[in-house]
Each structure stands twice: as structure tokens, then as C-alpha cells.
Structure 1
Amino acid sequence: MAPLFVMGCSEKSTTMQNEVELIFPKGDKITNDNFTGAVYLHNMVVADSSNQNAVGSVTFEPGARTKWHSHPAGQIIIAIDGVGYYQEEGQPKVIVRKGEVVKCPADIPHWHGASADEKFVQVAITGREKGETVWLHAVTDEEYHK
């Protein structure tokens, strides 16, 4: 199943680009082994009993990416800066640009991250009502560059 893309406004201006950089703090560097390269997370909403969605701003430096993984309740990725990649298992890799939205289906293995030459900043909205993220294996350089 192909991801659902919702296209946003692509108008760019220097003022808008500067504002985007200031929307959310970069956050803390992620030090676990679920990522390749430099990735930073600013948790905005932690899932709890009153709302089981987690929301975080994630900054991927050029070439950085997640491992293959899936979300039991799905995920929504909102691209707020840069250029990124998204790929579902068995599907071609797609380019994700600022202003675009990706709807990741529940239980579908996928990965996402920055392009090779540009950072990527996303807001990830992840449902936790059916469980935590299921981390799989690393994305190989061959898969990443394909």
C-alpha cells in the first residue's frame, strides 16, 4: 500500500525559512542504535492515559535515518524543513519535502530520514494505543542510496 501524501504550501521566503528554524528546539541527540547518523529529538507530547499520541520534532542531519520499523497504531510525518526520504517495505523510496505530510499505515515496516545532501526536520505524530514502535534492522547504504 502506497503512503498517503497530503501536499502543503511550497511557497518559500527567507522570512518563512527563518521562522521554521525557530518553531521547535532541535532537542537532544538520540544515542540509541535505532538510527544511523546524527538525529535529534524534541519531545513535545508524551503519550499518557489521557492522550495516547506521542508528538516529537525530529531533526535528521544529512544522511541520517531510522532503522526499518513499524508502528502498531500508525504514524503521521509532517515535513517542516529540508528534504527527506520515506520508504515502505517492498515500495520505492519517495522524496519528502517541506510542507508535505506522509501517513504511515499501521504495522507496515518503513524507514525515513534526511536526504544525502540536506537535513530533514519532521514532526512525528505516533499513536501508542496499540503499543510501542517495533524496531527492526538497519537500513543498508545500498537501500538508502537506491
Structure 2
Amino acid sequence: MHLAVPGPTSKGPAEKFTGDVYLNALHGAEHPSRLASAMVRFTPGARTHWHSHPVGQTLHCTDGTGLVANRDGEVILMRAGDTVYTPAGEEHWHGATRDSLMCHLALVEHDAGQTATWFEPVTEDDYRAAHATTHPETFNEQR
């Protein structure tokens, strides 16, 4: 047993995130474990690019309000205390709503050292559509 001290805060790289995102590594899948975890903080409107995970991903929202969306157009509004699971291979993105910070714990398992496959950025149209699905009154007021 040992205390796992979080890694230093780093800014999420532009090739994986849109907007200001900050990461703290929590656990790095030390053998024999395959579980990696991080605390990820999103400023309003910030989000990941499209991506998938070879063994799936669990997101546990600790603060604020966020969105999780997949290629099929399904959108989940995630609030503090909510947990969302994306299955292996499902292309998705997640991030903060336009009017709230959001922090989540991201839990993924390594598969032969790989945790994610990254794709293109989420377009403004895709982000607005997801936001409108979960916040129709806010979306209509801000148009």
C-alpha cells in the first residue's frame, strides 16, 4: 500500500482538446494493474476531440455540468455525482457545458499500452447540437 500523489497539473494538448482543459494523473497503470486514472478539469465550452478506448472508459463527474456524446447522436448531461461508461470502441467526446466548469475522474484500462485512439475535433455545430439537446431553453435564449 502507498499514497498515490497526483501528478502536477498540465494543460491538455491542442491535438486532443478544444478550449482550456487541465489534467492531473492519479494512477499510471503500474503492472500488474491496467487501470490508469486522471482528474480532468474543463473550462466552460472546453471538450475532448472525438476518441475511443480499446477497453472502454468510466467518467465520474465530481463538479460542475458536462456533456458526453457519441457518434450516434446520443447525449448525456453529466452532473456532479454522475458516472458515465462508454464501451470499448465507442467513438465519443466529453466536456463542459458552455455555462459551467466541469471536473471528472477518467478511468481507463491499458490494452497493450494503448488507452485511446484520437480523431478529429468536435465541430461547433456538433457541440451546439449536443448542448441544445440537454439545454433547449438556454440554447434558444443564446441564439
Show the counterpart of 2:140: none
Quote the offset at 1:71 in angstroms.
0.1
Say whether residues 1:40 and 2:22 are aligned partners: yes
- The alignment covers a number of residue pairs equal to 123
Where relative contact order (Cα < 8 A, 6+ residues apart) is larger, the structure is 1
Distance (Å, rounded) in 2 between the aligned partners of 1:48 and 1:139: 32
- Show structure 1 runs of 5+ residues with no match: 1-23
Distance (Å, rounded) in 1 between the aligned partners of 2:123 and 2:8: 26
1:80-137 deviation line (CA, Å, top 9, x unaligned): 0000000011133221101000011000000000000101000000111353300011
Could you tell me whether the CA contact under 8 Å between 1:26 and 1:58 is conserved in 2?
no
Could you tell me whether the CA contact under 8 Å between 1:63 and 1:113 is conserved in 2?
yes
Distance (Å, rounded) in 2 between the aligned partners of 1:139 and 1:31: 15
Superposition TM-score, scaled by structure 2 size = 0.81
Show the counterpart of 1:138: 121
Which of 32, 57, 81 is the aligned partner of 1:50? Answer: 32
Which of 30, 43, 46 is the aligned partner of 1:64? Answer: 46
Identity, in percent, stands at: 34
